[in-house]
Structure 1
Amino acid sequence: MSAPEAILELHHIEKSYAPKRWLSRGETLRAVDGVSLSVRKGETLGIVGESGCGKSTIGQIASLMLRPTGGSVVFKGEELVPGRRSPRDSRRSRIQYVFQDPYSSLNPRFTIGRLLEEPLAIRKKGTRRERRREVLRMLSRIGLDPAYADRYPHELSGGQRQRVGIARALMPSPELLVLDEPVSALDVSVQAQILNLLKDLQAERSLTYLFISHDLNVVHYMSDRVAVMYLGRIVELAEVGELYDGPLHPYTRALVDAIPDEPGTTPREAEIIEGELPDPRQLAGGCAFRARCPFAHERCGRQPLLEEVKPGHYVACHLLEPDRD
């Protein structure tokens, strides 16, 4: 059976930031460096990596919140150009973003009902009474009493606010949600509730998720495929089971080794990452991981390509390339 068609495609995405006064002259920060990705309709593609690897930047570019320095964003075969556009633009409604911090992303002056109704009002969908009914239905669906429509964000717990953030993103009936660390600010018990809610909503509404997180356990639970990022590049991409059971890139292996062992399992021999994360403004070219890699050699002075080493399993590492010298 063939794989589902791609609903979102990122082609050679680059994002650089020009030097500021606090940077020395000429030190351009390259947050994303030539990333290409496709997200299949109905799947959850996880993006995982350390802070500063560029995963949130990818999410903001994919949702048209941020303009890339280079490359293109294609949604359902149509190239989208981030930039100024009407808030009623249908492209905005098809791709929605769920923020990490549910409190700062909600206007504290608005009631929950107004926050949820606003996306419909902007697009002039339905009468005011119809929009109110839709708000109350949505509150019930996300597990909140409809009476919460008259409350303000500060009156809700963190988990309740994140439910509202998810509900607001769903109000325009999107096809793709970009979820940027959606549970990292929540207690573990609340995290499980929100993740299960996201899974249920995905099944009910045939949603596609781009799921961004630094937590490998959360990514493992939510994702169908996983992309591992390091300093602006994808270093490995595979089906979730294959990547966690048999990671191939040294960086991915070290990340997976760091996951606490479950009771009754045989501990994996840990691979230690030595040194600190390099300054992304001062990379000398070649493989960005080579300064911390225990297997680095001369060939690592050249930038490795992300290549398919097994069906559906892509790795950017010279160790896995055929000998071309």
Structure 2
Amino acid sequence: MTDVRTPASALRQSHETAAQTTSGYGMLLVLLFTLVAGLAAFTQIDRLADGAIVAWFIAASFLFLFVACGFYLLQPNQASVITLFGDYRGTDRNAGLRWTWPWMGGKKVSVRSNNIISERIKVNDLRGNPIEMAAQVVWRVTDTAQALFDVDDYKAFVNVQIEAAVRTIGSRYPYDDFEHQEVTLRGNHDQVGGELRAELIERLHVAGITVDECGFTHLAYAQEIAGAMLRRQQAQAVVAARTTLVEGAVGMVEMALALLSEKNVVELDDERRAAMVSNLMVVLCGERDTQPIVNAGSLYQ
């Protein structure tokens, strides 16, 4: 039997449209008018047994209830998704007192910016070293129809996709590089953060959500290798410092010998030149302060 599956790209996606609603302030006047008319008819019922008065009271009461059931409030940066028996009929983003037909269903969705800090997760970087990572993400809903109808729970969806994106970016680069020849998680925050944002935007597009800002709030080696990696970093730093020190010392020795020969301060044969080079390298590269030794005899004795 052939397993036929529908690709995700072929699934029907919802798209936000403007709902056919109206301002609630005009309908509030209608509500007040029906209230006054109903009260006026109610005062006449006891004095006149007239069917018209009774019909007037019933109609005013029904109209009052009909209008009253259609009101709803929207705060700034808040939207109401309007449905009719489960069918999407549009989204109202106008803040204030609003009104729609009472048989229309409505679900409010916040389109404000949301800030979330993910939990620390353990990821293997490009070199296989376990590291701990956590991210801070600022996101907001841009398409309310997709957020409600294309995913089951868009807030839970955001949390899951943030963790997946952090794992993807964390495994794409090494944690650190002392030779400064690679893009690293620790040394290239802006570039890596930009790639994390692009990854999240692509993942959250199906839910009608965009990412305004993101970055890493925690980045460190896992505890089981933190001590070993610290010693490794220290050793690499010492080697790098020694390399720079030796390169500088060699240059200074070359300059000293060249100036001595140029100004004819002293003539040095190969043996004395080698001895001077050795002494200068010890002075320049030694970790402790040097102590001069007075030679009372000849170098050849």
> Structure 1-normalised TM-score?
0.20
Look at both structures and tell me which one has the larger radius of gyration over its CA atoms. Answer: 2
RCO higher in structure (CA 8 A, sep ≥6)? 1
> Structure 2-normalised TM-score?
0.21
